[in-house]
Each structure stands twice: as structure tokens, then as C-alpha cells.
A and B are shown apart, each in its own frame.
Chain A
């Protein structure tokens, strides 16, 4: 009998083509919005995670300054002490690279007026391993033509930010002088590269604290030792674990042992970062889902309205069917199938359109922000959407059908 009802529902849908299409359109507009917005949210979340993984690497963790929260000690300590050589010997650690920062008295070359420029400037000490082992991390330090970054065994070299180079009147091949601490000697460093001024801020800034500021002088990590002795001014450290090791385990162990040795660090793994980012992106997703929900509600009211009038129009037909022996349950089944079917068709069209819209939006967003935005097709979203669309249609049609079925046959027949 269900098949007969489906045939009845189907012929009614096909013979009221315009009305059916209007209903379907009402459904699919809402569904398109829902699927598109939620997919875009999921895609952004995936993209941010992918980007973090790319820069950071899933086998890598980071040593950030420990945040003293409720210990009474100030948490102004943005720098920490570190024995990098010891860190490299820890079980499970494959490579480690660190960044130190100081402010130093620097002397450049004579300017056009014949006077030598000098002043206090920020100096960053970079492990050469940053270049060799963590290229994505350092990626944004693009040099002007003719320059290069320092290699593993170099010490008396420097790379300058564009502004510093200009102010100190230094070009590649010339020298600068940096004063060390108290008893340490001053060092004369050869400038081997100048950072190209970039319009865009660094993508890496959020993990490293390195952004290619025009004010900074970059020197090899070892050179910092010569000027200021053992590191107690580390900003950040990147640690890559040996293949196959559990990153979280190694990170936890390194944190404990380093703290025991007096380094106030906190180990941050990829999963820590991605879950932190996750809370942000899921807020965005929830916001998008909220908008989607509102548009679905509006669409749903529209569908109910179309269904309601269309069922009302057919009150007489319901009367005829009852006059020839239809039971209330038969009437309800026919309309349930009919309106549910329209909901389902609207759901399918809306899902396809929504996925189309979301991949289009991903492409546009990707172009604007110059990243590859992931297109996420979530099976559970699709299943939930189709079920929801069927239910929406069914409920929207069922209520007026139930009312019509309850009418006395004669009254339904008299309806024009």
C-alpha cells in the first residue's frame, strides 16, 4: 500500500509542477545556506590546522617561556635560560634550534656627513639549524639580492633588517661592531645579507616572535655566546623529535628536566596549538552554524506556508478520498510521503548547491589570504541535512493534512 501512496504522492507532485518547485526552492535555499556555512567553517578549521602543521610539523614541539600564573611570581619573564647543547643530547630529541634576544650597543659605518652611526638595537641570535631543519619557521626572512643567511659554522657575520642597514649606512660586505657584556670583547661582524622589506607581516610571527622587522640585527646563535655568555635570554626553542617517537611524551620529559635545571619553560606541542586554535575556529563555526540555523528557520516557515496552502487547496481531494474509503492514516501517509519527498529533493539539491557554494567560497577566501583553503565534505553533515530536510517537509505538510483529515467528510467535500 505504501507503494500506491508513493505513486499517488508522486503524481500529485508532478501535476503541480510550479507549486512543487516553489516548495523545493524554499527548502533548498535554507539547506544551501546551512551546508555552505557549516562546510566553510569546517574548511577554515581544517585549513588553520594544516597551516600550523606545515609550519610547525607534527614531530616538533616548542619551548615557550613558562607562564607563572598563580605562584605570586611575576610572569614578566618572556625569556628563559637554556643549555641548548644539553637539550640536543636528551633521549628522543633529533634536532633543536633556539632564538635569543638582546638589546645591544651597535656601531655602523660613517654616513655622508662623515659621522659614524651608533645606537641601541635589538639583536636576535638564530641557531643555523633554524635554516637547515626548520625552513618553514624562518621562511619569511627573505633577503635582498646578493645576500645570504649564515651557515652552521659561521660566527662573525650578521644579517640586517632594511631599516638598520640604512640607518647604520651598511651594505653587504661591510662591517658593524657590537658591544658585548662587561668583560666580553666587542665583535666586528661582516654583514652578509639584508632582509628584504616585505609588505606582508610574517605568518610565523605567532609561534616564533620573529617577524621580519626592519629594526632587527640577526646573528648566529653562537655569536651571542661570544658576546654575552651562556643563554639566559632565549625567546623560543624548536625541538624536533626522532622519527617514531611520541612527541607529547618527549615534550613532557624535556619540560620536567629543563625545569629541574632552572629553565622556566613550557613545552607546547602541535596538539596543544591545534586545540587552542580549535576553540577559536569552533567559535567561528558555531557562529556560522547559528546564521545557518536562522536561515533554515526562515526557509522552514516558508516551506510550511507553501505546504499549508497547498494542502488546504486539496481539502476537497482529501474529502473525495475519504468518501471512497480512505482512512485518516491513509491521508496522513500520502501527505507525509508527498511533503517529505519534496523536502528530500530540496535537501539533495540544497546539499549539492551548498557544497558548490562552499568550495567557491573556499577558493575566494584562499585567493584573498593566499592560502589553500581545504574543502571539507562531511558525510555526517550530509546525512543529518537530508534527514532534517525530509523531516522539515514532512512536518510542514503533516500538520495541515492532519487538520484536513479531521474534517467531517461532507465539510471537506464542500471545500472549494
Chain B
């Protein structure tokens, strides 16, 4: 089912954090569209609003003003309950700090998004193992996060992001806590999700090399998009 609509469409998004008597304007009117199957790299100095933007894209946070549409559906019209379903089904989030549940094994961490969608246990376990094999962790299935290296943890997190076969992968500085070599393999993995599986990938990064895998680069500063650049070549 093809659609002329962009997958994600942000119109005039603002985000203000109250901070004591003053207010922090994290986003000051962002317009941005993201098409299906794209890899978009978001770059910009620290504090420029990249994470805030990602959270709004992934329905983890709500904007102060403006409209965010996913598949043409305005997110602010959805209930808390519907947003939860959307986060589980349509979006896979990869965090800089991995955010795995420390008491659960790799496999059970990957199963978690499926649990909340009510998938049967058998299918879940099989799919979780398949995904861990896909990210190269066939022999780490039963390890807990603290028994894994940083790169391995991020692979588990990517497998978890893929659990419910979402359309969008949102990765906020996924290589920020990894050495450059490990980071490179993670980037390759994310790239393959787009090229091989047709996922839409939005990637926040400081790494100019990382930007090479992107179809498009969005530059931000002070809560605004200052440049959008198609990555030719």
C-alpha cells in the first residue's frame, strides 16, 4: 500500500521546557518531512534540540506547539493508550545509553516489545532468537546486559527495536558510547536495515563518517533546522 504522504511530517513544532522562572526553548519551529525507506542523519551541536526532536518523532514526548503527523495521523489526537500501541508497533528506538532492562537476558529484552503487544510466547522466543542472530549475537542469547560489551548491548537494543517489525528506527547517538571501530559496525548494521529491510532510519550523530550512510543530512542549531542537504554521490 503506497501512499503519497510522507511517513513523518512535522509542521511548526516547538518545545518549551519550563526551567524555574525562565523557559528553555528546545525547539523553535521545526518543519521536517521524512519519506519511507530514507536514512536521515540529524547533526548539530550539543543542546541544539536533536534529542527533543527524536522524542517527538517517536511519540515519547509531546510538542508544545505545532503538529506531528505519522502516516498522516496527527499524534496529538491519539490517546495515551493508542500512543503506547504506536510506540510498540511502529517505532523502534535505539538510545545512546542502550536502556536495556538489567534483570532480563538479551532474549527477554528483545521479547519485551512483543509481550506488550500480546504476541504468543512461542513466536516471541523464536523471533527474538532470529533477531539476535541477525545482529550477530547468536551466542549471547541468555546473557544479561551486564555480561555484554557496549557494542553487544547496542546490538541487543537494535534487535529489540526491530522486535515488532516497525517502519521507523530512531537512533539517538547510537555510537556515542562506543569506540569508533565498534561504532562503525553498528552504523553498518543500521544502514543494512534500510538497504536490506526497507526501514526508515533517523540517526542522530556527531560523526561526519556516519553521515556518509545517510540519504539526507539535517543540520540543527538552537532549536531550528538550519540546513537540509541531500547526500549525493
Interface residues of A (CB under 8 A from B): 1, 3-4, 8, 11-12, 15-16, 316-317, 319-328, 330, 408-410, 413
Contact = CB atoms under 8 A, between A and B. Distances in A.
Contacts, number: 72
Interface string B67-104: 00000000000001100110111000101000111111
A328 B112 contact: no
Given A326-B116, A327-B116, A413-B60, 13 more contacts: A1-B115, A15-B103, A16-B103, A316-B99, A323-B58, A324-B116, A327-B84, A408-B61, A409-B60, A409-B61, A409-B87, A410-B61, A413-B95
Contacts of A8: 104, 115
Contacts of B100: 320
A242 B1 CA distance: 96
Given A4-B121, A15-B103, A410-B60, A322 B84 contact: yes
Interface residues of B, number: 31
Given A4-B121, A330-B116, A410-B61, A325 B88 contact: yes
Contacts of A409: 55, 60-61, 87
B20 interface: no
A362 B85 CA distance: 58
Contacts of A15: 102-103
Nearest to B161: A324
A252 to B, nearest CB: 70
A322 B108 CA distance: 16
B126 to A, nearest CB: 16
Kindly name the residue among B60, B80, B108 whose own CB sees the greatest number of chain A CB atoms within 10 A: B60
A410 B62 CA distance: 10
Kindly name the residue among B84, B93, B108, B118 whose own CB sees the greatest number of chain A CB atoms within 10 A: B84
30 contacts: A1-B118, A3-B121, A8-B104, A11-B103, A11-B104, A11-B108, A15-B102, A16-B103, A316-B99, A319-B99, A320-B99, A321-B116, A322-B87, A323-B58, A323-B87, A323-B99, A324-B87, A324-B93, A324-B116, A325-B85, A325-B89, A325-B116, A326-B84, A326-B116, A327-B81, A327-B85, A328-B80, A408-B61, A408-B62, A413-B95
A296 B115 CA distance: 37
Interface in B137-182: 160, 163-164
A11 B118 CA distance: 19
Contacts of A328: 80-81, 84
Nearest to A408: B61
A12 B84 CA distance: 23
Kindly name the residue among A1, A4, A8, A15 whose own CB sees the greatest number of chain B CB atoms within 10 A: A4
Contact of B101 (A16, A317, A330, A410): A317
B223 to A, nearest CB: 16
B117 interface: yes
A212 B93 CA distance: 90
A317 B87 CA distance: 16
A15 B112 CA distance: 17
A183 B129 CA distance: 115
A410 to B, nearest CB: 4
A316 B164 CA distance: 22
